Amino acid sequence: MLSVWFRVIRVRFLLASVIAVSVGLALNWWQNSSIDPLDVFLTFAGVMALHASVDLLNDFWDFKRGIDTKTKRTKMSGGTGVLPEGLLKPSSVYRAGIAFLIIGSAIGGYFILTDGIIIAIILGFAILSIYFYSTKIVDSGLGEFFVAVKGSMIVLGTYFIQSGQLTTESVLAGIIVGTLSSLVLFIASFPDHDADKSKGRKTLVIAVGKQKAAKLFWIFPIISYGAIIVGVTTNLFPVVSLIVFLSIPLMIKSGIGLKKNFDSVDELVPYMSSTLMFSRITGTLFVISFIMSI
């Protein structure tokens, strides 16, 4: 049963939030050489709880709307399959999602008391976004934007909790991490195009069509890489941060693969996987670059 819950929470996708928190911590350590272990633990716990919440509620609403019964499930898209297969009750998944939302909100509440209004704003955005993500947000075509902002907010919140300030470099780092996370959602929405569209969902791929959307792939890495270059040339990031460009081959492989296979679910899976790897490796190298520069 525990493995089923890990499946519905999509444990391996939690790494995106782990990287986002790690970027905020590494940036602060590089700049201020300080870290509060208790705050680190609570930040990870709170962010993981909120991430689990959005995944659980997403599975619940996609099942209730009949989307997951119409998609072809892959290891990268189409939902977890837990509810269509009857492995858990929809009500149980919904309650777990709300429980994780409450846990994450409670931890956030602690940081509001210790760190003030900035955390309150970030937490308020997170709570509303998580609860309405699978209905109002994705129906309005803002899914990719939400994920980008969510990733940015995690970096900003983590950095602020440790340093007590918001800086240009923390905003820039947030944009990098958020864009990388958004790219994973973007490419994973290609196989779900027909099912999503039939149920009223509006992703970026649905808005512009698969063929045109495939060309938009390159915008995401350009933003992330561009922000790295800006950060390094303005001395906001260490020169070592340029090691993120080691992920360029994965980016090229993914983009070309998407262009050739955007309309074939089975053929696209390897390139969805390489896009996920590109996002994770780029983010991890970004974290390592700060640690190497201490």
Please report the domains of the chain, with CATH numbers, ordered by start residue. Answer: 2-292 (1.10.600)
Phi, psi of 199 (to 5 degrees): -110, 15
Contact 231, 172 (CB under 8 A): yes
pLDDT at 159: 98
The first and second tokens of residue 61, run together, are: 């609403």
pLDDT of residue 199: 77
85 half-sphere exposure, CB direction, 13 A CA radius: 9
Q: Is the pLDDT of residue 80 over 90?
A: no
Confidence of residue 76 (pLDDT cuts 50, 70, 90): confident
Position 273 confidence tier, pLDDT thresholds 50, 70, 90: very high
Intra-chain end-to-end CA distance of the chain, in Å: 44
pLDDT, one tens digit per residue, over 204-254 is: 899 899 999 999 999 999 999 999 999 999 999 999 999 999 999 999 999
* Token representation of residue 31: 């700049």
Per-residue pLDDT reduced to its tens digit, 92-149: 999 999 999 999 999 999 999 999 999 999 999 888 888 888 778 877 878 889 899 9
Average pLDDT over residues 23-49: 96
pLDDT of residue 194: 83
Q: What is the DSSP letter of 243?
A: G
Lowest model confidence (mean pLDDT) among 215-224, 257-266, 283-292: 257-266
Closest by CA to 52, choosing from 8, 105, 18, is 8
